[in-house]
Homo-oligomer: A and B are copies of this chain.
Amino acid sequence: MKLFLFSLILSLSLANTGWTETTDSLKYINATNLELIGKGFSETTTHYERLPTSLEAKTRPAVWWLSKNCSGLAIRFRTNSTLIAAKWEVTGDVVMNHFAPSGIKGLDLYGLKNGKWQFVNSARPSGKITSATIINHMSGTDMEYMLYLPLYDGLVNLEIGIESTATIGNPLIDSPRKEKPVVFYGTSITQGGCASRAGMAYPNQLSRMLDRQIINLGFSGNGRLDLEVAEVMADIDASCFVMDCLPNVSVAQMNEKYAHFLEIIRKKRPDVPILLVETILFPHMYFDQTVFALLQEKNEVLKKIYTDQKKSDKHMYYMKAEKLIGNDFEATVDGVHLTDLGFIRISNFLYPVIRKLIK
């Protein structure tokens, strides 16, 4: 029965031989044969990228390089295997001193249980190439899965392993829903720094909460209002644009480019809600007076930009930083980057707001 179903799915959905490899008792499927979600552009240089090839010659090298990090991308599939494994190779084998490798370059598996996405387990990276069992001893019921890709590294290759007698195929259920995704533009925090695993980055959490695909255009240290990024963002048939880039831009850059960035989006998407988010209040600013003054100034400048925009644009919205990450000063690893604690707080806070905007 399992073999029959597997053959059926193979012929129905993949029409392709040579996409599996059997090793020991497991069968490996190249993930390029399964549905990839969270991708904003079809014309990319390799399969797992976040910006279109057309931007390579136009944008700054740092943005281009970061667009190869897989934040926001996930593989959707279903299987009746009692075990799920993965083999993957990352491009950079990135290491950071405030970020767990599991979040930087690991994988993170969720399963759809009673209509809700539930954490199954993460795959911890060994280095450039990893082979890992993610979960074992499951009941063998056919189930829908979502495997989040690395937040801060690129993928050369990914294969998903199942029992040799189990079936695997593309999902039957459209969740998170593909129609009109929410697009996030921002910084390292938007890209997911420093979640312990990919599923905890706030755009990924919001995707599950809203049951809506997201497009993650967070570029670590480089959410600097590059106008060519606005041009391609505007090509996405989005339900909402979330602008969360303030930590990466100076007040001068805000005054020079923020309104222009919005104008580019507005030219193609006149009616889509745009949510402008203040910079979070870094907990160390309550000791560092220079940081305190700078963040206050940025948020005042943003408020002014918003007030100006709002005069002629009724689809412009504003999110104050005040309660975004709680008020106990504990939500970051280094005063700046959010931990899973900070990410769950910001997700819970943004959820009702964005839900209303995309309804």
Contacts and interface: CB of A to CB of B under 8 A. Distances in A.
Interface stretch (A5-13, A37-45, A286-294, A315-323): A286-294
A216 to B, nearest CB: 19
A354 to B, nearest CB: 19
A139 interface: yes
Contacts of A339: 196, 200, 339-341
A342 B112 CA distance: 22
A169 interface: no
Interface residues of A, number: 47
A22 interface: no
A57 interface: no
Interface string A87-112: 00000000011111111001000010
A197 B100 CA distance: 11
A199 B331 CA distance: 12
Nearest to A127: B97
A329 interface: yes
A344 interface: yes
Interface stretch (A23-31, A115-123, A219-227, A241-249): A115-123
A124 interface: yes
B139 A289 contact: yes
A138 interface: yes
A140 to B, nearest CB: 10
Given A98-B101, A111-B287, 6 more contacts: A96-B101, A100-B100, A118-B329, A119-B284, A120-B287, A199-B330
Closest 4 CB pairs of A and B: A196-B333, A137-B290, A339-B340, A340-B341
